[in-house]
Amino acid sequence: MKNKKIIIIRKKLDKLDLKMLAIIKKRSLLVNRILSEKKFKNQIIDQKRIKIILNKIHKESKNKKIDPKITKPIWKAMIRSFINYEFRNFRKK
């Protein structure tokens, strides 16, 4: 027998995942706008900006009582994915 509480919670997670996809789509559109402004591939990776973002996420995670060991790897993966996206799409637009 399946646990009904788990099924209900998983449905909520599924709905939340769809909302997250919508946010990622919005982020993608903004990344596209930034990419269109970049003239050279060496502008794609900005280590200073990455460090600022990760520090901000770490601080905000603590403020919101979220374990930074959850959020930091998520943001690192997202940043890495968008960097790869930018390299794949540089000058294709």
Structural domains for the chain: 4-89 (1.20.59.10)
Please tell me the predicted confidence (pLDDT) of residue 2. Answer: 79
CA distance 73 to 76: 5
Is the pLDDT assigned to residue 92 strictly greater than 80? no
Burial class (CB in 10 A: 0-12, 13-18, 19+), 72: middle
6-25 residue pLDDT tens: 999 999 999 999 999 999 99
Whether residue 93 has pLDDT greater than 90: no
Tens digits of per-residue pLDDT, 20-67?
A: 999 999 999 999 999 999 999 999 999 999 999 999 999 999 999 999
Q: Is the dihedral of CA 3, 4, 6, 11 positive or negative?
A: positive
Q: What is the pLDDT of residues 77-91, one digit of tens each?
A: 999 999 999 999 998
